[in-house]
Structure 1
């Protein structure tokens, strides 16, 4: 509970109480009651002439012009900023044939190649890295869905103090890849599961990230036109090797050069803060995410400029480490007021759609709400509970399968179990992954022989992969890669029954008029319940 007399002081209440603020010194009760009466009279006298706070209807454009969305998506189902990147389309196919840190056939060697390229896997398992891999050359697709066995996971050797993988360029597509670095032997404040810096036109899809000691996912410096979708961002290590001590963080998006980021249909679980945190010059489109066991969920900060955020159709569920009740919080460090649009979210303060949309926003931050969704590329948006079911069914690496880590995380959300993690060993560590056997591909063009024969292609022709037999814009090898997903992914088969049609955000002054005591006695008027998205109920 937020104490309005002493800002920043949090008051805990027993669960059995109705959460009235009468459990204080008698003089405090009188002060609050008198203040409430004064506000009631003041707003009552001015009600007929009330106007909306000007900050609630700002219409300034975002920092950069919106990208054109008429181009072909990177793959069917890619939505959001940068989703029309070409990735490695039309380039050479490079196969990863071993789990070595470096050398011929390694992932590092494939990424280091220049020119358009598509990276496929002929082996599954865990790659333990002796140093960070930097993606420095543009136009690359990493197709983790091609890995046989149990798929691919990146892991750091304990001597490594950086992220396993860092993106430093443009036009990058990564799908169905796990990155779980673990703690370093030495203190580190730069160890993330994935870092994106100085890049654009990037799509991260159906990937799984956990066990970073700084953030799990870090987007910083000049980064724009980026989408993170259908992924899992979980278990930022808490009391680990970060020099600041407890530092469990999910996703940080920031700096004075970043903007136009889409974050949709992801699962954030067991991250203390930053689920996500936005501190940048542009806008973030945060749609249909599930956030579990967070102390802070959506965090907005204004160090560099006035950020703009859509927060739509998300579900926040409390766990054992959760504390704050409001899901959207603004941290004023630069006096650059944000613009925030909220619609159709579910959380402790808004467990059902019967309540107004603004209930998910901390009271003193509601003056920054706007009444129209901020322009962003199209993202399919479902009602929060429908998205909850989809995300739990299909987020993260689901092809070739979910590993034991992701299975446990999803079970935690369903059963309201689990807690913050200090070290991977507390939750079983890295599971053993089967290597598997890749299908025969005698011409090494990234398409199995049987698939080529079934689709009228020549399994002896290494040059037919970059061609487009059906003239739909996707090359033949992309048709194979996309088909792996279409055949197995449950999310694209889900048929949502309703679109999200909640009313626009209510003006701040109207909120106060409807309940003038709310500023001083907020807990009296709020019922705190858990969102129930169980389809059987």
Structure 2
């Protein structure tokens, strides 16, 4: 008996019926968090469908504050009816409840700037967009403590940090963390570390070198901690950080694509499994995919490579179309160059790994202009700090600093107010229905 032959249309109809039978949550998982969302975290719902929480005060806490909104339970979308500066008083703002979207793009001019504190993400399914976070040293004595501008803690997953401006951190500007060995084996270590993370279109700049960190010099860009996996770092501007732009530690796995790195100190991109931290544990294999990144030396740049490897173990490295130039624009290393004097073994995959969801790879020759145009919290209306940093990158100016006071100090913006009108926004993606973000002065 011959088999029954089905037409392509029959199979298409069957596929459609199966889609209709899927749970609503599974169907929702296929919707990007917002247009242009990228990476393994791209389909997080964040707070979509939850309550709309309006931030109505610039106070650090209390009714109507950002802290109150963040600490509310259940799915929620945080919008802003105020613009200006939120002073955290050198305290952490922690996200412990999942299913959250912070929509900084809804704030009136001059947007939201958080000073003297940082944001810690200790939950899953979180989207943070269009915030400026500038911890600074808080005028505290040296060695008194350290603050990341934004960090994810162990177990954080499906997290997107997009279009934020992160400067003057006394630890890293933007990091993904773990506890290294939580669980019984490598699969559990990776599952319990931060994973499925996207850092996109951010300014990560001017990490403070000799400030308040107990270890001394600590101008750092991004730390991707041991066993963090499925992390995408794409389209960011790293400027004036001594090192870690970014650093992947032992067993970390992810892709670094189309970033602009300006004026690093002793290192730019690097990998390092520190054997002393792994005593009693087998080494995990790391993985780094480096495509279309650009490094430009600046005043503070020492002799370095675009990519350096240290430590022990094995790491898979695919490097393609990366460009590194000195202050005169002369190439300083070959496009796929990497340097190591350590016992770590570097493996080169035979074929390029697939790009994560939504990534449109640019050739390195186009990266600087693309990043400069779109990067930071409010590229349509940059604040003076972001404008200065971007201008210095373009002109080849600026240095690594020890205090925010060297570049004008903490911003002081007059508070502004403007009602949030739900009809003006697509509440599923938190994009304006007009297609453009507002410019100029708001209603006061």
TM range (shorter): 0.7 to 0.9
Correspondence 1:345 to 2:299: no
1:302, 1:338 within 8 Å by CA — same for their partners in 2?
Answer: no
Shift of 1:259: 1.2
Q: Aligned pair in 2 of structure 1 residues 272, 307: CA closer, same or farther (>3 Å)?
A: same
How far 1:78 moved relative to its partner? 0.4
Contact 1:188 1:214 in 2 (8 A): no
In the TM superposition, residue 250 of structure 1 has moved relative to its aligned partner by 0.7
The residue aligned with 2:432 is: 483
Query: Could you say which residue in structure 2 is the equivalent of 1:82?
Result: 41
Which of 271, 292, 295 lines up with 2:241 in the alignment?
271
Q: Name which of 168, 181, 196 aligns with 2:122.
A: 168
Q: 5+ residue gaps in structure 2?
A: 1-26, 179-192, 275-282, 439-444
Determine whether 1:239 maps to 2:195.
Answer: no
Work out which of the residue numbers 151, 159, 178 in structure 2 matches 1:202.
Answer: 159
Match of 2:284 in 1: 305
3-state SS of paired residue (2:427): helix
Q: TM-score of the superposition, structure 1-length normalised?
A: 0.67
Match runs of 1:284-295 below 5 Å:
284-295=254-265
Give the alignment partner of residue 384 of structure 1, picking from 333, 345, 364: 364
Q: Distance in 2 between matches of 1:381 and 1:419?
A: 30
Question: 2:396 aligns to what?
Answer: 416
Alpha-carbon distance in structure 2 between the residues aligned to 1:169 and 1:401: 30
Q: Which of these residues, 103, 108, 113, is aligned with residue 148 of structure 1? A: 108
1:518 equivalent in structure 2 = none
Q: Which is strand-richer, 1 or 2?
A: 2
Pick from 209, 212, 227 the counterpart of residue 198 of structure 2: 227
Deviation at 1:179, TM superposition (A): 0.5
What is the total number of aligned residue pairs between the two structures? 381
1:435 deviates by 3.0
Does 2:95 correspond to 1:135? Answer: yes
In the alignment, is residue 191 of structure 1 matched against residue 152 of structure 2? Answer: no
Alignment gaps of 5+ in structure 1: 1-67, 157-162, 442-446, 453-475, 490-537
Q: Offset at 1:110?
A: 0.4
In the TM superposition, 1:90-105 aligns within 5 A as: 90-105=49-64
CA contact (8 A) 2:315 2:345 kept: no
1:369 deviation in Å?
3.1
| Higher mean displacement: 177-186 or 230-239 | 177-186
Distance 1:291 1:141 in 2: 28
- TM-score relative to the length of structure 2: 0.80
> 1:149, 1:400 within 8 Å by CA — same for their partners in 2?
no
Q: Distance in 1 between matches of 2:370 and 2:145?
A: 34
CA contact (8 A) 2:224 2:252 kept: no
- C-alpha RMSD over aligned residues: 2.6
After TM superposition, give the deviation of residue 393 of structure 1 in Å: 1.1
Deviations 1:391-447 (Å, cap 9, x if unpaired)?
111101126621111111111111110001110010012233243331464xxxxx1
